[in-house]
Each structure stands twice: as structure tokens, then as C-alpha cells.
Amino acid sequence: MVKIRLARVGGKKNAIYRVVVADSRSPRDGRNIETIGRYNPQTEPSVVEIDVAKADTWIAQGAQPSQAVKKLIKIARAQAAA
């Protein structure tokens, strides 16, 4: 199954995440199909940049977003509308 999830990048105690489309069997930071955004929780306010059109396309094709990514997509839609 294909999942939309977070992959951790950045250094020790400096977590920055990429929003990726990956096979559910691949490791968290392993091989991914496509990178569709990024998330930096350390800034104030947090940086959430997701290509919502690509996310919707993948979801329409059957990809399952994780709980965290669902929340981030909702935030990205709200930012795009504002």
C-alpha cells in the first residue's frame, strides 16, 4: 500500500520533516516515490508547505495519509485559502 507520511531530515535535536509518498513497507527515511512538501515545527509559526494538488491526486489514486499528514494538509489548505 502507498502512504503519504513524514520522513525526518535535519540533524540531532533539529527535526525537520519532508512530506513524502512512499510504499508502506519502506523505512521511514528510506526510499520514497515522491516528495510533496515539507514541515518545520521549530519555527514560530511552524512552516507547512504542501503541494495540496499533488496530495489530492495521490489520495484519489488510493494513497493513505498518516494522521499527522492529514492535519498538515488541513493546515496547508487553510493557508492557501487565506
pLDDT digits (tens, 9 = 90+) for 36-55: 999 999 999 999 999 999 99
User: What is the rounded average pLDDT of the residues 10-29?
Assistant: 93
**Residues 38-73 as b or e (16 or more Cβ within 10 Å = b):** bbeeeeeeeebebeeebbeebbeeebebeeebeebb
Q: Is the pLDDT of residue 82 over 90?
A: no
Domains in the chain: ranges and CATH: 2-81 (3.30.1320.10)
Question: Position 19: which residue type?
Answer: V
Q: What pTM was estimated for this model as a whole?
A: 0.90
